[in-house]
Amino acid sequence: MSTEKLNQNYSVGDVVISPKFGVGHVVGMESLSDVGTSFYVIETNNDKCRVLVPLSGRPQIRRPATKDIIEKSLEQIKTAENVVSAFPAFKSKRERVEFFKEVLKSIDLNTTVTAICELNDISNRGKVEDQILDGLIANYSIEVAEVTQRDNDEAKTLIYDLLEMRKA
């Protein structure tokens, strides 16, 4: 495993975020010849597991947002009029569910926050959409906790409280 500067965008020790494992840090890079690709080796902060993240394909990790960006995103959640939908109009509830299932896999903070706001604002949300919303909030709360130095449960409670304020 390499411990020098890694190719692509990350170096050993860099903190990264992923909806798949939460917060972790890069500990190296491995090339698996039988698979024919290279991977970042990420050690998760939560349970100290090591995760292999492919360098190629759809990005699966990113650096955490700054505190300023997190504060702005929390304000966006609180204030209904700050959200401009970038999402398509849906022909059916099923199409909407499938769309938000894909968003749940996104590593983009803006997409996640916009999806939280939009799902929260849907009056005829079904059980699956409630589960997707909870998953998005769980992913987002991990980053809020990391960046603002809060406990994860405290960050999650903050997000739910802001969503309640949004309804008022």
**CATH topology classification for 1-63:** Thrombin, subunit H (2.40.10)
Contacts of 20 (CB under 8 A, 6+ apart): 51, 60
What tens digit of pLDDT does each residue of 107-155 get? 999 999 999 999 998 888 999 999 999 999 999 999 999 999 999 999 9
Can you give the pLDDT at residue 6?
A: 43
What is the dotted CATH code of the domain comprising 67-167? 1.20.58.1290
Are both 1-63 and 67-167 of the same fold? no
| pLDDT exceeds 70 at position 76 | yes
| pLDDT exceeds 90 at position 55 | no
Pairwise CA distance, residues 41 & 27, whole Å: 6
- Domain spans, the chain: 1-63, 67-167
Can you give the pLDDT at residue 4?
A: 39
Give this prediction's pTM: 0.85
What tens digit of pLDDT does each residue of 3-28 get? 334 445 889 999 999 988 899 999 99
